[in-house]
Homo-oligomer: A and B are copies of this chain.
Amino acid sequence: MLQLTKRTEYGLLALVHLADREGAVASVREICERYPLPKRTLAEVLKDLQHAGLVESTRGSSGGYTLARSPLRVTLGDVVRALEGAPPLTTCESPIVLKGGGCEVQPNCPIRSPIQRVRERLWQLLEHTTLHSLVSGAPHVSLGALGAVESHR
């Protein structure tokens, strides 16, 4: 499916919340009081974001999470990679053999290389979308490289 998981969605909302109050710690409870998210699952997500180095945690009674770095330096790609990994677009990116031993020079499926390029483009898109751009409502920051398509639709 060409779709982000709910975990990623939860993570993004949490990060936006953290970005809003830059510096101050926010607990899972606090975030769940703001958005209607399942508390326990959000906790798992934030734990994963902590492992990925996107947020820092402080434990104890008045603990919580803070952003590990500026919203300008956290990208959608970072979040997706932390919560979903970076899987290939198709299993075809791993080698698939032709039957009958046709083409030996390129023993992999004919789609492989073009699909890889599409995946690279997709990740460029994710990497260029910063947390800051989600917070500010400004569509994209540092997207000049892709900006040529702006005029469509």
Binds B, one of A40-48, A60-68, A80-88: A80-88
- A36 engages B2 (CB within 8 Å): no
Q: A residues within 8 Å of B by Cβ?
A: 1-6, 8-9, 12-13, 16, 33-36, 76, 80, 84, 87-92, 96-100, 102, 109-111, 113-115, 117-118, 120-122, 124-126, 129, 133-135, 137, 139-140, 145-149, 152-153
Known pairs A2-B80, A124-B149, A152-B145; A135 contacts B110 (CB<8 A): yes
CA distance A147 to B121 in the complex (A): 10
Minimum CB–CB distance from A144 to chain B (whole Å) comes to 8
Known pairs A16-B111, A114-B134, A146-B149; A88 contacts B35 (CB<8 A): no
Known pairs A99-B36, A148-B148, A149-B145; A111 contacts B12 (CB<8 A): yes
- B3 engages A35 (CB within 8 Å): no
- A152 engages B124 (CB within 8 Å): yes
CA distance A100 to B30 in the complex (A): 12
Minimum CB–CB distance from A10 to chain B (whole Å) comes to 9
The one of B6, B80, B92, B110 in contact with A91, judged by C-beta atoms closer than 8 angstroms, is B6
- A113 engages B89 (CB within 8 Å): no
The one of B36, B97, B139, B140 in contact with A96, judged by C-beta atoms closer than 8 angstroms, is B36
The one of B92, B109, B122 in contact with A2, judged by C-beta atoms closer than 8 angstroms, is B122
Residues of B close to A129: CB separation below 8 A: 114, 118
- A9 engages B146 (CB within 8 Å): no
CA distance A139 to B114 in the complex (A): 6
